[in-house]
A and B are shown apart, each in its own frame.
Chain A
Amino acid sequence: MIDRDTIASAMYEAMRLAATQLPPDVEAALEAALDTESDPLARRHLQVSLENARAAQDGEGLVCADTGFPLFFIAAGARTEVAGGFGALHDAAAEATARATADAYLRPTMVDPLTRVNPGDNVGPGMPRVLLRFEGEGAGLEIVAAPKGGGSEIFGTFYRMMYPSDGEAGILTFVLDAIRDGCYAGKICPPAIVGVGIGGTADLCMELAKEAAVLRPIGQPNSDANVAALERKLFDAARSLGIGAMGAAGTSAVMAVNVETAVTHTAALPVAVNAQCLVGRRWRALISADGQVRFTGDPT
Chain B
Amino acid sequence: MNDTIRDLTLPLSEEDARGLQLGETVTVSGLVFTGRSLLHIRAIEQGIVPPIDFSAINCFFHVGPVMRETAAGWEVVSIEPTSSIRFERYSPALVRTLGLRTLIGKTTMGPGTAEALREVGGVHLSKIGVCGNLLRRQVKRVVEVHFLEELGKTEATWVYEVERFGPFFVDIDAHGRNYFAELDDLSRERLAAVRRELGVPEDFAYTEVNP
Q: A: which residues have CB within 8 A of B?
A: 41, 44-49, 51-53, 55-56, 60-67, 104, 107-109, 116, 118, 120, 150-151, 154-155, 160, 162-163, 165-166, 169-170, 172-173, 176-177, 180, 183-187, 189, 233, 237, 240-243, 245-249, 278-279
Contact = CB atoms under 8 A, between A and B. Distances in A.
B133 A246 contact: no
B183 A249 contact: yes
Contact of B134 (A51, A109, A177): A51
Contacts of B197: 237
B159 to A, nearest CB: 18
B50 interface: no
Contacts of B60: none
A161 B83 CA distance: 29
Given A62-B132, A173-B204, A176-B194, A249 B186 contact: yes
A248 to B, nearest CB: 8
A64 B197 CA distance: 37
Contacts of A187: 83, 85, 107
B78 interface: yes
Contacts of A46: 129
Interface residues of B, number: 53
Contact of A241 (B63, B133, B134, B190): B190
Given A61-B77, A176-B194, A249-B183, A66 B82 contact: yes
B106 A172 contact: no
16 contacts: A41-B23, A45-B128, A52-B129, A52-B133, A55-B133, A60-B136, A61-B66, A64-B78, A65-B63, A109-B154, A118-B151, A162-B206, A163-B207, A186-B106, A189-B130, A279-B130
B129 A246 contact: yes
A13 to B, nearest CB: 18
Contact of A246 (B107, B189, B190): B107
Contacts of B201: 169
B38 interface: yes
Contacts of B195: 172-173, 176
Contact of A185 (B107, B128, B129, B189): B107
B190 A48 contact: no
A22 B154 CA distance: 23
A160 B180 contact: no
A90 B135 CA distance: 36
Contacts of B163: none
Contacts of B198: 172, 233, 237
Contacts of B128: 41, 44-45, 48, 246
Interface string B71-86: 0000001111011010
A104 B66 contact: yes
Contact of B187 (A52, A60, A63, A241): A241
9 nearest A-B pairs in the assembled complex, by CB-CB distance: A48-B129, A61-B133, A65-B80, A185-B108, A61-B78, A65-B78, A185-B107, A49-B129, A65-B132
Given A61-B78, A165-B207, A186-B107, 13 more contacts: A46-B129, A52-B134, A53-B130, A55-B134, A64-B130, A65-B78, A104-B77, A107-B153, A155-B83, A172-B198, A180-B191, A184-B180, A243-B183
